[in-house]
Structure formats: structure tokens, C-alpha cells
Amino acid sequence: MSVILKKIIFATTFNLCLFLFLMIGIQNSANKSRVDFLINKTIKLPISFIIGSSFISGSIIGSFFNINLTKKS
């Protein structure tokens, strides 16, 4: 199996597990807020969902970047 495929599978399963834990964790969340976009506002969402979903989306985006810190001379 290639390294790229392993990386995609790992990132997908890791982020799905985070999303499941997020859904279980926000069951009793009472604090709700709206997110203001440039055009519209969202419905009232739990603050923990807003923070968790932004973390998960950042994790998904960050898993596709390849940072090579070795020096090539």
C-alpha cells in the first residue's frame, strides 16, 4: 500500500473518530451561539460544536499538506 493512501486512510479514520466523540460530547450542551458569515447567520449551534468542527476541519486540511524539513544540498 502506498504511503499517500495510508496517510489518507489514517486522516479519515482519525477525523471520523474525533467527529463521533464530538457528537457524543455535545449531547448536554446548553450554551448556544450563532456564527456570523459575511452574508448570513447560522442557526443557534452549541459552542462546543463550533469549536470542535473548526478543529476537525483544520485537521483535515492540515493532513493534506506535506512539510519536508530536511535540507537538500
What does the DSSP assignment read for 5-67? HHHHHHHHHHHHHHHHHHHHHTTT---EE--B-SS-B---EEHHHHHHHHHHHHHHHHTT---
Centre a 10 Å sphere on the Cβ of residue 1 and count the other Cβ atoms it contains. 6
pLDDT band at 68 (very low <50, low <70, confident <90, very high): low
pTM of structure: 0.68
- For 21-60, what is each residue's pLDDT tens digit? 888 888 877 788 887 878 888 788 888 888 888 888 888 8
Cα 2 to chain centroid, rounded: 24
pLDDT band at 17 (very low <50, low <70, confident <90, very high): very high
C-alpha distance across the termini of the chain, in Å: 30
